Homo-oligomer: A and B are copies of this chain.
């Protein structure tokens, strides 16, 4: 095999007897997109056509197909990687993309997190415990109310305060009013703390709009942002990673339900494209990811991978203070615990419950 390849693993929902043919069709769909018989270029047949390396029938009746794709077909673009991995097959309901063995060449092309876990700990000054995160919500709030909320969280000792991912540039709290107001409120309320409090506003829109939002936010002292890579396009996400290497990127999983297994998309690919921290819906909350899937996401975010910085898992999606010890036991200390609505349910006791959250994270050590 002369050309460099990367191995992708697909789950085929078909009978074992049908799997060889289905896997061959998949390999063509995700490479040359035409019958082999019609190819006249010998080099294409030898080096570009994807190859089925192995078929492994599973106990649940599905079949795992390991397929070797040519690295050449991907070029240097994150979107093109998704395109070649699963572009057309995403339209088919009998197949999922479940894993990818990332070769060194790919790690070097996309670089991964600029800051990673260590960088986030440096920024936030937090060592030896899990990080805490709260969210500014609901959308529709006024700038004044959001700043007040941010101030309460910061005063209680929360490490990261992020915009709800529903925040864009809406009229009730436009980006250019919301961000300076919240950043100022956070800076003031956290001025007496031993560690800083970091605000991560949500950036959205096309690439130029996101750049302008980031520059504006950075000018106002912001050092982290929230972005949904599947909405803004992974190529743009990766471009921002390169352009703003000192900025912490928190990736949000919105629109990530594309028949790519979360442990791969959120765990390996978001990290590969530059996420310093990745929010995922933890099991037992409002979403349906299993405990094993959440573990696999966290593991892929932090495991050694060609020298890529580890990224921080952010467990979210309906969490509460009482689950802090369980989450730290599961994920260890290199985790960010995000609690949203459950803090706000405390209403007039918001500051108190936020302090309880901070205390729980501070007192919980990994087992």
Contact = CB atoms under 8 A, between A and B. Distances in A.
Interface of A: 25, 29, 31-35, 37-41, 43-44, 47-49, 70, 72-77, 79-80, 82-84, 86-94, 137-142, 145, 164-166, 168-172, 204-209, 228, 231-236, 238-239, 253-259, 262, 281, 286-289, 340-341, 344-345, 347
Given A139-B32, A140-B43, A235-B209, A204 B80 contact: yes
B35 A91 contact: no
A256 B90 contact: yes
Chain A at the B interface: SS class: loop
Contact of A206 (B43, B92, B138, B233): B233
Contacts of A208: 207, 239
A169 B207 contact: no
Contact of A44 (B25, B86, B138, B347): B138
Given A139-B32, A255-B86, A204 B79 contact: yes
5 contacts: A34-B340, A92-B288, A206-B239, A207-B208, A232-B236
A139 B88 CA distance: 15
A321 B87 CA distance: 25
Contacts of A37: 345
Contact of A34 (B79, B87, B233, B344): B344
A291 B171 CA distance: 42
A74 B37 CA distance: 49
Contacts of A87: 165-166, 228, 231, 254-255
A171 B72 contact: yes
